A and B are shown apart, each in its own frame.
Chain A
């Protein structure tokens, strides 16, 4: 109304406004990317933690602290001459120090330390652990040293004098134990009255138990990688088939890989042939088939699964990877191949036809070699789809544990480790291991994947 009375803002102000718009746009972009990647980064950091449900959630913790890595490597070298994966082996001899502090005048007690007889966790670990470091470890106190320090009480401003006493322990592998075996982890606990606090230790304490009286370490000879990737090592070594001793995680990966490769091969055969027929050949019924292809893409798998389950059961293929491969309906891929072949120049085929080649020869020698780009895209999609597919393996392959596909295996991990107080770091570690193949493929072929998903969605 009164725009005529007031002038527009001067150009430099409008230019400034334009820049501000750009700043906001990039801010939103970066914010979104942070939320997306941040969620995964946080979950990954939790998979490294001793307690991924800790509250408050620390962003800096021993597993990502280089100074702790060095100590862990050193302890691993002392325990089993292995700075990477640590352990406790014959000849192993570790020096482990604890420093307790108490206000001067309060009696500082020597803590009761021991290598407890402890299993690494709940779930299957409890069933498969047969060797205990406690049967082989000898702990002795080699010396103590005292120092004093002064701290200021934040509320009263009073200075308090503290006595800090360091206890040096030697933990050595008993030479009397005859069977000389390597033990993966060396747990350690120290019990002290609550009048004194644990100031520091060679390795950060895993957790405090019994209302802060017991300092407990899961493994004081972890090695650098044994410290950082503890839950990854555990999820691989603890999920075993109790009857055969197989590493289940690798079995699941192998199954998923077989399913994915099988589906890719089946898809290529079905969709290149059918796509070519639908794109090029004019015959009665082609329209009906096309409608069927579209129709089959909209019907949910739940409609077909009962009958398909029965077919697989009657063929005796339940609990095999074949069953999961063969129930695939390749309609999406048929459609994509059809579209590709339609854009393929007809002239080349016609020239070959005049030269006397029949349809099959043309397809095999001319069309297929030229369809490589489309085949690659379809293969990537099919591989990713098969690797991530949950429903069919869930329904068709239920046991034994070693026959499961990766996503269903993850579910069984959740069932055995993911409770209210469960080993969530193991569950998360399994989830992150499971995405590695698809992640590698995504990085290698991201150009294909990204472009294709955009065009596919718009159609």
Chain B
């Protein structure tokens, strides 16, 4: 009876799965096999592919554009993932004591993540025009540098003064005591306004033009163009990731912190010994998803188009597309396939590493 049931399930199972399996076989499995085959051939989308062995891979490693794309992709993934994870984590810890991000605030934080990459990129392209708003923001900071410095100095000075005075009388006064900090910042602001109005420090009036996108300049292993894209990515992802971390933080039982406090741990120590370890699963998810997402970055590069030089924006994903449909050239499917497989392999390595660590984490 039971065996018959299983047989019945087998037939029903495959029938239920059939539509999905057809789609998966044609558009996924066969596609991978074909890409692998194309990577070993000389193919231009029209003729018949002829086998040329590993030549495409050899050509790939000697192609400067590919090496550049590889470097850009890896540095973009590493930089964006690091920045967005650290920032989201810090912000989540900062605001954790607020009961919960609810209602309107939550909606606001999700807002950037529902936008299409196309709309988002256009908004940032406008923001990053040479004479655009970003330039004038930076220009304002540069022109007001002395006033900003005086503000920072006042805040630091007043804060240290207050803390030193309080420490003479009482124990356990932190350097960043929040109540003192309110006073310090208020005084700093008042001081900056007085200095500005009194004209005691120079305010410059330099008009500057910054090429955020259309430039070949490289800053810390990555073209400035990609830094601009990175800024946009971080802007889109950090709010959502922060809510993820917040959900993780709020599931940490308060008794753990109490125990740490009883053992005499400082708030810094309890952050590293209680908060961070408890957040490990979330962090792993955030880092893995971040790496996979950023490694495959394509949309922004394509939408940038002629607004930035190819070398400053090319990534592995775009290299694949670029070799498939080269502007004014004949398609080089062999190299495109080989590059695509490289990208796929990189992704798989990341997933594999994450699995390995994830398992260790669970055992430990």
A411 touches B302 (CB 8 A): yes
Tell me, yes or no, whether A334 is within 8 Å of chain B by CB: yes
Given contacts A7-B171, A458-B282, contact A21 B97 (CB under 8 A): yes
B97 contacts which chain A residues (CB < 8 A)? 21-22, 25
B19 touches A270 (CB 8 A): yes
B286: contacting residue among A28, A278, A457, CB under 8 A: A457
Given contacts A298-B292, A302-B317, A458-B244, contact A424 B129 (CB under 8 A): yes
Interface string of A276-293 (1 = CB under 8 A from B): 111001111110010011
Q: How far is the CB of A37 from chain B (nearest CB, A)?
A: 6
A434 contacts which chain B residues (CB < 8 A)? 116, 118-119
Which residue on B lies nearest to A266, using beta carbons? Answer: B23
A271 touches B20 (CB 8 A): yes
Q: How many residues of B contact A (CB 8 A)?
A: 111
Tell me, yes or no, whether A345 is within 8 Å of chain B by CB: no
A388 touches B117 (CB 8 A): yes
Tell me, yes or no, whether B275 is within 8 Å of chain A by CB: no
B27 contacts which chain A residues (CB < 8 A)? 304, 308, 311, 326-329
B24 touches A329 (CB 8 A): yes
Which residue on A lies nearest to B129, using beta carbons? Answer: A53
B172 touches A430 (CB 8 A): no
Interface string of A10-53 (1 = CB under 8 A from B): 00010011011111111011001100110110110010000011
Given contacts A36-B239, A40-B123, contact A458 B302 (CB under 8 A): no
Interface string of B312-332 (1 = CB under 8 A from A): 000011001100100000000
Which residue on A lies nearest to B299, using beta carbons? Answer: A390
A300 touches B240 (CB 8 A): no
A334 contacts which chain B residues (CB < 8 A)? 20
Interface string of A213-245 (1 = CB under 8 A from B): 000000000000000000000000000000000
CA A21 – CA B112 in complex, angstroms?
28
Given contacts A29-B95, A407-B116, contact A273 B20 (CB under 8 A): yes
B171: contacting residue among A6, A21, A283, A359, CB under 8 A: A6
A435 contacts which chain B residues (CB < 8 A)? 114-116, 119
Q: How far is the CB of A441 from chain B (nearest CB, A)?
A: 8
Looking at A97-105, A185-193, A442-450, the stretch in contact with chain B turns out to be A442-450
Tell me, yes or no, whether A351 is within 8 Å of chain B by CB: no
Looking at B7-15, B51-59, B151-159, B196-204, the stretch in contact with chain A turns out to be B7-15
Tell me, yes or no, whether B278 is within 8 Å of chain A by CB: no
A137 contacts which chain B residues (CB < 8 A)? none
A453 touches B123 (CB 8 A): no
The B91-105 residues at the A interface (CB cut-off 8 A) are 91, 94-98, 101, 105
Tell me, yes or no, whether A427 is within 8 Å of chain B by CB: yes
B107 touches A450 (CB 8 A): yes
Tell me, yes or no, whether B249 is within 8 Å of chain A by CB: no
A307 contacts which chain B residues (CB < 8 A)? 30-32, 34-35, 38
B108 touches A9 (CB 8 A): no
Given contacts A57-B133, A454-B243, contact A25 B170 (CB under 8 A): no
B12 contacts which chain A residues (CB < 8 A)? 277, 281, 358-360
> Max chain B CB contacts within 10 Å: which of A19, A301, A303, A424?
A303
A283 touches B95 (CB 8 A): no
The A interface, classified by DSSP as helix, strand, loop or mixed, is helix
Interface string of A387-428 (1 = CB under 8 A from B): 110110011000000000011101101110010100010011
A306 touches B35 (CB 8 A): yes
A410 contacts which chain B residues (CB < 8 A)? 116, 118-119, 122, 303
B80 contacts which chain A residues (CB < 8 A)? none
Tell me, yes or no, whether A348 is within 8 Å of chain B by CB: no
Which residue on B lies nearest to A459, using beta carbons? Answer: B285
Tell me, yes or no, whether B351 is within 8 Å of chain A by CB: yes
Tell me, yes or no, whether A343 is within 8 Å of chain B by CB: no
A22 contacts which chain B residues (CB < 8 A)? 97-98
> Max chain B CB contacts within 10 Å: which of A3, A271, A302, A420?
A302
B298 touches A391 (CB 8 A): yes
A300: contacting residue among B98, B111, B347, CB under 8 A: B347
CA A307 – CA B239 in complex, angstroms?
37
The A334-391 residues at the B interface (CB cut-off 8 A) are 334, 358-360, 363, 384, 387-388, 390-391
B173 touches A56 (CB 8 A): no
B362 contacts which chain A residues (CB < 8 A)? none
Given contacts A29-B95, A273-B19, contact A39 B235 (CB under 8 A): yes
Q: How far is the CB of A420 from chain B (nearest CB, A)?
A: 7
Which residue on A lies nearest to B20, using beta carbons? Answer: A274
Which residue on B lies nearest to A455, using beta carbons? Answer: B247
Between-chain CB contacts (< 8 Å), 19 pairs:
A9-B166, A24-B94, A28-B94, A36-B108, A37-B111, A39-B123, A46-B133, A52-B126, A57-B136, A270-B20, A299-B344, A302-B320, A304-B31, A306-B324, A306-B337, A307-B32, A406-B118, A410-B119, A411-B305
Q: A28-B91, A307-B31 are in contact. List 18 more A-B contacts (CB 8 A).
A: A6-B167, A13-B179, A16-B179, A25-B98, A270-B19, A298-B292, A300-B296, A302-B296, A302-B298, A328-B23, A330-B20, A391-B299, A427-B125, A427-B126, A428-B122, A434-B118, A446-B107, A457-B285
Closest 5 CB pairs of A and B: A407-B118, A388-B116, A304-B31, A277-B16, A274-B20
A contact set with B: CB distance below 8 Å: 2-3, 6-9, 13, 16-17, 19-26, 28-29, 32-33, 36-37, 39-40, 42-43, 46, 52-53, 55-57, 269-271, 273-274, 276-278, 281-286, 289, 292-293, 296, 298-311, 326-331, 334, 358-360, 363, 384, 387-388, 390-391, 394-395, 406-408, 410-411, 413-415, 418, 420, 424, 427-428, 430-432, 434-435, 438-439, 442, 446, 449-450, 453-454, 457-459
